[in-house]
């Protein structure tokens, strides 16, 4: 080979290698802060996603300000990001493209079966619009909500606004909406949330001091009408205290390991027993578990026992037990979880007898040291509700404290 041609070939190889190395160095990374939107009934549902490198591997957070919720499990395999939520039996799978965008899907479970929502993501930090119009009003404060569901109900919304940014929650008799985050642009209010399974999109327009709009869930294509006006001293009891329909409760249900749990077990004799009625599918039950786990551990030495009575969708008991185990592990619950049936009036009535059916998930049954049912608390107010959450925890603690002081 001619010496000059050999030198030219070597230069060409070096140049190609350099270009390849440069291209590899310039390849976009899946790590960072993303604005992800779900193709949701009512329009795009946005939420924030942060993917970072942790000490032992990747970590991720869902951002619905002010909440920053750590994702249960995350894997980054090449350009595929998989966010798993085993306590909900749901997942979010995103592919990172060469255009530095995310595409994928969210697989969530509902009472009617699985639902899939297409997902896209870009490196943005805004929620709904990059340049919202000047807000027509400051929505900060409490609002009385009229929610036109299957049975019209009244709730209480609490909003906080800074500039165009709006955050808050809506407490309904069936529970709260967790952390809603969004904006007001002109007179148009848009709020959304996604916690790995639960989705909600609230939209409304403001006219003459009244908010009017619709709320959409993952499977509600037509949405539910709602209106709101500023509260004028109105308040709401997020947790209803009811007298029990019977003074005794008898059951015998299994844990995932096959152990049968009954109130007649020696473990519960002479103890105060709190029975939580919930399901891993229920977002408010997750919020209650955040409180219940540490509380149960703290007061166990005083004679408090807790039993998690779960009502899970479907006939697949193996799947239900796996989800219950994931729920228990996520919140490090120190008490047994038992499978009592499905979250239907018929099933919960069969499990609870005269104390059933379950009206709202979660609810709690309080049993004194004498084995008698003393109170039933219906519902819960999660941390997004602020003062309502503080009151729910204080009332719960007061009931337990009163029962612990009694003698068997």
Is 368 domain-assigned? yes
| 103-122 pLDDT per residue, tens | 999 999 988 889 999 999 99
Is 193 domain-assigned? yes
Pair 115, 165 in one domain: no
| 150-188 pLDDT per residue, tens | 889 999 999 999 999 999 999 999 999 999 999 999 999
**Closest listed residue to residue 138, CA positions, set 160, 169, 156:** 160
Say yes or no to pLDDT of 23 above 70: no
Orientation of helix 317-330 relative to helix 283-299, angle to 10°: 60
Are 287 and 396 in contact, with CB atoms under 8 Å apart?
no
Q: Residue 93 belongs to what domain range? A: 32-122
Pair 269, 148 in one domain: no
Is 72 domain-assigned? yes
Pair 396, 298 in one domain: yes
Pair 165, 114 in one domain: no
Q: What is the mean pLDDT of the chain?
A: 92
pLDDT computed for residue 149 by the predictor: 80
Say yes or no to pLDDT of 91 above 70: yes
Give the total number of structural domains in the chain. Answer: 3
Say yes or no to pLDDT of 7 above 60: no
- Of 20-34, 186-200, 228-242, 315-329, where does mean pLDDT reach its minimum? 20-34
Say yes or no to pLDDT of 313 above 50: yes
| Partners of 32 in beta bridges | 51
Pair 182, 259 in one domain: no
Are 191 and 161 in contact, with CB atoms under 8 Å apart?
no
What gap in Å lies between CA 84 and CA 175, rounded to an integer? 25
Pair 217, 324 in one domain: no
pLDDT computed for residue 27 by the predictor: 60
Pair 259, 391 in one domain: yes
pLDDT computed for residue 112 by the predictor: 85
Is 185 domain-assigned? yes
Pair 112, 245 in one domain: no
Among 200, 230, 260, which residue terminates a domain? 230
Token duo for residue 134: 């000047």
Band (pLDDT 50/70/90 cuts) for residue 324 is very high
**Closest listed residue to residue 358, CA positions, set 292, 296, 291, 309:** 309
Are 353 and 250 in contact, with CB atoms under 8 Å apart?
yes
Q: Looking at residue 355, which CATH number applies to its domain?
A: 3.40.30.10
Pair 252, 387 in one domain: yes
Rounded to two decimals, the pTM is 0.89
Peptide bond into 265 cis (omega under 30): no
Q: Looking at residue 162, which CATH number applies to its domain?
A: 2.40.128.120
What gap in Å lies between CA 380 and CA 397, rounded to an integer? 13
Tell me the CA distances in angstroms from 368 to 271, 277, 404, one per residue in order: 7, 17, 8
Pair 170, 44 in one domain: no
Pair 249, 389 in one domain: yes
| Partners of 116 in beta bridges | 107
pLDDT over 70 percentage in the chain: 93
């Amino acid at each position: 080979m001619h010496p000059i041609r050999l030198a030219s070939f070597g230069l060409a190889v070096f140049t190609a290698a350099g270009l390849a190395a440069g291209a590899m160095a310039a390849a976009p990374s899946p790590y960072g802060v993303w604005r992800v939107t779900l193709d949701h009934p009512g329009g795009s549902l946005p939420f924030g996603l942060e993917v970072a490198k942790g000490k032992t591997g990747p970590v991720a957070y869902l951002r619905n300000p002010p909440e920053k919720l750590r994702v249960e499990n995350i894997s980054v395999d090449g350009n595929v990001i998989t966010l798993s939520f085993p306590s909900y039996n749901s997942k979010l799978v995103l592919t990172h493209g060469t255009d530095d965008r995310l595409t994928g899907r969210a697989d969530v479970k509902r009472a009617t079966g699985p639902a899939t929502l297409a997902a896209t993501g870009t490196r943005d930090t805004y929620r709904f619009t990059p340049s919202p119009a000047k807000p027509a009003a400051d929505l900060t404060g409490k609002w009385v909500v009229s929610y036109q569901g299957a049975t019209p109900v009244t709730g209480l919304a609490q909003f906080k606004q800074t500039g165009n940014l709006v955050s808050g929650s809506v407490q309904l008799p069936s529970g709260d909406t967790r952390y809603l985050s969004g904006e007001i642009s002109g007179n148009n209010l848009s709020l959304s949330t996604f916690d790995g399974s639960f989705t909600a999109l609230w939209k409304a327009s403001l006219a003459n001091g009244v908010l009017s709009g619709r709320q959409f869930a993952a499977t509600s294509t037509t949405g539910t009408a709602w209106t709101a006006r500023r509260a004028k001293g109105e308040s709401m009891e997020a947790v209803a205290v009811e007298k029990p329909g019977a003074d005794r409760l008898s059951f015998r249900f299994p844990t995932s390991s096959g152990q049968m749990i009954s109130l007649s077990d020696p473990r519960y004799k002479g103890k105060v027993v709190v029975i939580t009625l919930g399901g891993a599918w229920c977002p408010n039950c997750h919020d209650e578990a955040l409180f219940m786990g540490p509380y149960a551990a703290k007061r166990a030495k005083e004679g408090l026992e807790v039993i998690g009575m779960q009502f899970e969708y479907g006939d697949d008991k193996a799947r239900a037990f796996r989800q219950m185990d994931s729920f228990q592990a996520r919140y490090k619950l120190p008490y047994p979880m038992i499978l009592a049936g499905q979250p239907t009036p018929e099933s919960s009535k069969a499990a609870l007898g005269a104390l059933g059916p379950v009206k709202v998930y979660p609810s709690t049954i309080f049993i004194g040291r004498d084995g008698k049912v003393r109170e039933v608390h219906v519902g819960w107010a999660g941390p997004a509700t602020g003062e309502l959450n503080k009151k729910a925890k204080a009332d719960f603690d007061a009931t337990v404290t009163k029962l612990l002081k009694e003698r068997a």
